[in-house]
Each structure stands twice: as C-alpha cells, then as structure tokens.
A and B are shown apart, each in its own frame.
Chain A
Amino acid sequence: MRKLFQLSLLALSTAMFANTVSAEDKVFNLVIKNHKFEPAEITVPAGVKIQLNVKNLDSTAEEFESYELNQEKVISGGQEATLHIEPLKPGSYPFVGEFNEDTAKGVLIAK
C-alpha cells in the first residue's frame, strides 16, 4: 500500500513540476463558427510547446482532430477546450473538425 502511494506521489510530483514549465507555453486562439475554423490558418513558433484554445461558438459539438498533431478532442456546443501541443518541427500540420470535415478544415504552420 505504501508503495502505491509512493508511485502516485511520484506521478503527481512529476506533473506538478512540469506545470511550472508549461506556464510559459505560448497561447493561441481558434474559434469554430458555422462549422468552420477561424482563422483557418494559424502560424506558431517551431520548437516550443504551445497552448491552443479552441472555442466552439456553434450550438452543436465538434471534434478537433489532427493525426499530425496527435490531438483528438470533442468540444461541446458553446464550450471551449485547451489543447497542449508538443514542440513542433517546422512544417504544416493540418487539422479538421471531424463532425463537419467538409467545411471545418485548417492548418497550423510551425516556423
């Protein structure tokens, strides 16, 4: 039992330590409106961890999906989600709103 607590404390303390690092993440904002991303193209710095705030202004849920960014998140209508993206190599990383993929398309460009 004691070892279980030790393992849990180790995991939590690791998380807390990392939290102080993530406080310096660069923050970017994205909106979903009429099943489209605004802006549809967003430029971020390469090589640093970023935070992407995605606000869904539609009344229906949407799923932010990007295999390239290793992100998958359902965002209810009228809600906001925060995505934490690991440092990226320079390049283009497409993302979609999986529930409305015909219109909800975007690309994140790391420079």
Chain B
Amino acid sequence: MKYLTSVAKNLRPALVLFGLFGGVMGSHHALADFKVYSPYVEKDTIEIEARGHIVTDRNPERRSARQDKFEIGYGVTDWWSTSFFTEHEREPGETYRHSATAWENIFQLTERGKYWLDAGLYVEYASAAEKSAADTLELKLLLEKNIGKFSNTVNLIFEREIGKNSSSRDVETSYAWRTRYRWKPELEPGIEIYGGLGNLEGLKVSSAYSHQAGPVISGKFRLDSKSALLYQVGYLFGLNHNSDDGAVKWQLEYERHF
C-alpha cells in the first residue's frame, strides 16, 4: 500500500483543485471520444498524438460527422502524466471547427501488476471554443487486467458541464472497453466497445444510448533507442438504432524518452 499512499498524498492538491470545479464531471463533447486509456504512466516521456474518427452512415447528414484531436503530453513522474489537446469536429450538418481545448491528467494509482487489477484516474478539463458552449469536466476510472497475452482495459467515464454556460448538473456516464492480443509489438489485434450509460442516478445499459463495437489493430515501431511511432486503426459498428452505422477510427503517436 506504500505506493498507493504515496500517490494519494501527492494527489491531494489535484483533488482539492478538482473539488473546486464542483466534483464530478461533464462533457461538451457532442461526438464520442473513441479512445481507451491505459492506467500506466511513463516517466520522462513526451508524447505527440493525432487521432480521430469519421462517421460512416447511410444517412448523408450523419455521414459527415468527424472528430480530430491533436495532443502533446509529458510523463512528469512515475504516477502522473499531463497533456494538452485541441479538439476539432464537424457535427452532422455543420462545418468543421475548433470545438475545445483541454487539459488532461492521468494518475497511476497502483504499481503495474502488484494487485489483481491495475488502476488509474483520468481527469480532464475542457474549455469550449464557442463562447456560448459549456466547459466540461471529465473523470475516468481506468482499470486494466493482463491475462497471459490478453490485455483487458476498461474505462468508466463520468462527465459534467461546468461554468457559466452549464445547462445541466447531470453527471453523464459511459464506458469504454478494449481487449487486445499481444501478438507482437508491431501488430496487436483487438476489439473495442463504447457506449453510454446515461445519467449517474439512473445508471443502466440501455438501448436509449448509442453503443459501438469493432475490431482494431495497433502497434509500435521503434525509431531508435529512445523514440517510437505508435498507431491504431479500427472500425466500430453501431450496435443499435441510436448509433451511427459505423465509424473509422485512427491514431498516430510519436513518443520520445528524455
């Protein structure tokens, strides 16, 4: 428990700051964020990442939706990484625009492999680009369990609008799941599942929310002893009538150790 105690002690200022924002989160995101976060943090590592998804749908209005994120982050300690990203999106029937700038933090709560389940905490504050839109606060509980060559990651997501433009105090919940087969560093096939769970008070898996699932492949190519290029591509199928027919997702990341 020494590591957990140390992390909790160091996290205190961040938690106080988090409390000032009003507790648990919200999201301005009109479009889903198709990324599953691992609880692990790499110290002294800078990461530059671009990722996004494009909706494919028989309905031409839905088909035009897309979202892109451009991010730069740094592993400050063994247990804390921080990053900034800009988000750009095109909602159905609208033009492509800058939608938000965000600050995200990942706190690794447990030493990798020490307990039956590895855990981390994700905290994001997103400032909406539009003056009339609400800022958001997002909290994710990051859980990972490795079984043989299978790596399983679950994110439980809590979002809330904050600030003067906030129109709701509801905490919206959602989930993200990834299972990947660690075949070789350059090519790891897997599946990802995303979906909404609704308001925190009425937590349930319901067809009233969109759910998507599909195959993804990811991998890592080392460029030299201290840098690497990581990629991910996948296709997510809509699982119910509230979901788009599908979405193509992609991610490219450059990481360098210092």
Please determine whether B116 and A14 come into contact, CB atoms closer than 8 angstroms.
yes
Q: Name A residues whose Cβ lies closer than 8 Å to a Cβ of B.
A: 1, 3-4, 7-8, 11-12, 14-19, 21-22, 61, 63, 67, 70-74, 76, 82-86, 98-101
Please determine whether A71 and B185 come into contact, CB atoms closer than 8 angstroms.
no
Q: Give, as a whole number of angstroms, the nearest-CB distance from B152 to chain A.
A: 12
**Count of A-B contacts judged by CB separation below 8 Å:** 84
A contact residues around B109 at 8 Å (CB):
15
Stretch of B41-49, B210-218, B239-247 on the interface side: B41-49
Please determine whether B112 and A84 come into contact, CB atoms closer than 8 angstroms.
yes
Number of residues of chain B lying within 8 A (CB) of chain A: 36
Known contacts A8-B141, A19-B1, A86-B146; decide if A74 and B44 are in contact (CB<8 Å).
yes
A contact residues around B184 at 8 Å (CB):
67
Q: Give, as a whole number of angstroms, the nearest-CB distance from A44 to chain B.
A: 14
Query: Does B176 make an interface contact (CB < 8 A)?
Result: no
Assembled-state Cα–Cα distance A86/B42 (Å): 20
Please determine whether B225 and A14 come into contact, CB atoms closer than 8 angstroms.
no
Please determine whether B156 and A7 come into contact, CB atoms closer than 8 angstroms.
yes
A contact residues around B43 at 8 Å (CB):
74, 76
A contact residues around B257 at 8 Å (CB):
61, 63, 74, 98-99
Q: Give, as a whole number of angstroms, the nearest-CB distance from B235 to chain A.
A: 26
Q: Which residue of A lies closest to B4 (CB)?
A: A15
Pick the contact of A98 from B4, B203, B225 — CB < 8 Å? B225
